[in-house]
């Protein structure tokens, strides 16, 4: 990101919306917005496989492993407004398991990009499936979207739920049912 160019663009945006970028409360806003955007889009600078490959461990486990209630914060690619919520990831390994903290870091890599929830859900499932050749993977994400809460339809209490199931989670209804039951969700 060209820092000076971004700060100039933010300054110009302030002018375009009718503000004075030289008033006390806005003098440092271009710099603050730059730092915020750098943080909120840092997922573009990270490679998912480099995070995962450092934490793939051989194991004889063939049971379902679930990490639930992983916080998600992302920016809607349509309006650049936040969406936030929880992510639940389950998988059945074949001969390799993932480090638990790396699963959470993987969520951050994909959510710290401009996103839509549907793609984010699919990306996480596909990345985990491919990284360890899992028997199956399930991902469920539940989020609130500020683009529909503060503008547009203004529905403050609505929650969007998306799921992506691959392998045995897709092909075997009992496996999918076990995953959803362990999440304590009736989806």
The residue from 76, 87, 135, 142 that is catalytic is 76
- Beta-strand (E) ranges in the chain? 56-58, 65-76, 82-92, 96-98, 114-115, 136-145, 160-167
The residue from 117, 127, 142, 143 that is catalytic is 117
The residue from 19, 31, 79, 104 that is catalytic is 79
Q: Are 168 and 92 in contact (CB under 8 A)?
A: yes
The residue from 38, 71, 78, 118 that is catalytic is 78
Residue with tokens 């059945």: 92
Q: Is-catalytic flag, 77?
A: yes
Per DSSP, the chain holds a count of helices (H) and strands (E) of 8, 7
The residue from 77, 118, 156, 171 that is catalytic is 77
Q: Is-catalytic flag, 31?
A: no
Q: Is-catalytic flag, 104?
A: no
The residue from 19, 46, 126, 147 that is catalytic is 147
CA 159/CA 142 separation, integer angstroms: 6
The most distant pair of C-alpha atoms in the chain lies apart, rounded to whole Å, by 63
Q: Is-catalytic flag, 78?
A: yes
Q: Is-catalytic flag, 88?
A: no
Residue whose C-alpha is closest to residue 130's, from 178, 180, 170, 96? 96
Catalytic annotation, residues:
76-79, 117, 145, 147
């Amino acid at each position: 990101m060209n820092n000076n160019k971004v700060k100039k663009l933010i300054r110009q945006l302030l002018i375009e919306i009718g503000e004075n970028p030289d008033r006390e409360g806005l003098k440092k806003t271009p710099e603050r917005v730059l730092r915020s955007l750098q943080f909120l889009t840092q997922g573009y600078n990270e490679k998912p496989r480099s995070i995962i490959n450092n934490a793939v461990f051989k194991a004889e486990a063939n049971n379902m492993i679930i990490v639930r209630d992983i916080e998600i914060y992302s920016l809607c690619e349509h309006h650049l407004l936040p969406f936030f919520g929880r992510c639940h990831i389950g998988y059945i390994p074949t001969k390799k398991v993932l480090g638990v903290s790396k699963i959470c870091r993987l969520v951050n890599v994909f959510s710290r990009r401009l996103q839509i929830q549907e793609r984010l859900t699919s990306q996480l499932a596909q990345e985990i499936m491919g990284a360890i050749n899992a028997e199956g993977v399930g991902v469920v994400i539940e989020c609130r979207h500020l683009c529909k809460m503060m503008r547009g339809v203004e529905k403050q209490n609505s929650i969007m739920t998306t799921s992506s199931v691959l392998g045995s989670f897709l092909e075997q209804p009992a496996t999918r049912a076990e995953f959803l039951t362990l999440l304590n969700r009736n989806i």
